[in-house]
């Protein structure tokens, strides 16, 4: 019990309501109890020179690529991209070494291209078994062992295994006037 509460016990309840250090020696309400989850958006400080990011970091247009604002934590991620218009694009994972001023991104990029080809660090590893068209939603999940691709909520093949290097950033690229809205989700599909 603090000296203040022993001298003025009738005021301790009122003083506990104040923001800041508690005069009554109780809990300090100035301390945030739950951490704030950062918003995951396209990062305007890590984008190609001819890229424009709109809609508070949810839409990209121009030529080049962009990374997300938040790195992948504990090697697990899921995000989703809605295709607004067809054109040249790529959706997947990358790292800060990827050349994002042009499209398509070759090295340090693991993901899906508009042609349905699945690439892993510059090498084509297969053709997606589902067609992707305007209005479709593409999901990417990563769990440190493999990267999976989803088309409109359904898992597609092939998967990418053996992702190497510091793959920490969600990435997207496009060419010319295509327009894509990006919706990044917080949980990995189980």
Query: Would you write out the chain's pLDDT as a tens digit for each of its 190 residues?
Result: 555 556 655 555 555 555 455 555 555 555 656 666 667 788 888 888 988 888 888 888 888 888 888 777 778 888 888 888 777 888 888 888 888 887 788 888 899 998 999 999 889 999 999 989 988 999 999 888 899 999 999 999 999 987 766 655 677 777 765 555 544 444 434 3
Is 62 within 8 Å of 95 (Cβ atoms)?
no
Q: Is residue 1 part of a domain?
A: yes
Residues 96 and 153 in one domain: yes
Residues forming a β-bridge with 151: 138, 154
Host domain of residue 49: 42-183
- Report which of 119, 113, 108 is spatially closest to residue 167, judged by C-alpha positions: 108
Count the domains in the chain. Answer: 2
Q: Is residue 126 part of a domain?
A: yes
Residues 86 and 172 in one domain: yes
Residues 15 and 96 in one domain: no
Residues 2 and 88 in one domain: no
């Amino acid at each position: 019990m603090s000296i203040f509460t022993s001298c003025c016990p009738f005021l301790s309840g009122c003083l506990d309501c104040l923001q800041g250090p508690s005069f009554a020696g109780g809990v300090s309400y100035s301390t945030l109890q739950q951490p704030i989850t950062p918003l995951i958006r396209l990062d305007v400080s890590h984008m190609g020179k001819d890229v424009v990011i709109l809609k508070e970091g949810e839409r990209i247009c121009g030529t080049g690529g962009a990374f997300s604002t938040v790195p992948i934590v504990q090697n697990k991620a899921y995000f989703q991209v809605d295709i607004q218009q067809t054109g040249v694009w790529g959706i997947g994972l990358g790292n800060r070494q990827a050349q994002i001023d042009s499209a398509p991104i070759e090295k340090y990029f693991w993901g899906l291209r508009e042609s349905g080809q699945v690439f892993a660090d510059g090498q084509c590893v297969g053709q997606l078994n589902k067609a992707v068209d305007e209005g479709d939603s593409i999901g990417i999940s990563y769990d440190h062992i493999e990267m999976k691709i989803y088309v409109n909520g359904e898992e597609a093949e092939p998967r990418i295994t053996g992702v190497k290097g510091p793959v920490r950033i969600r990435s997207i690229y496009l060419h010319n006037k295509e327009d894509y809205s990006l919706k990044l989700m917080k949980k990995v599909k189980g």
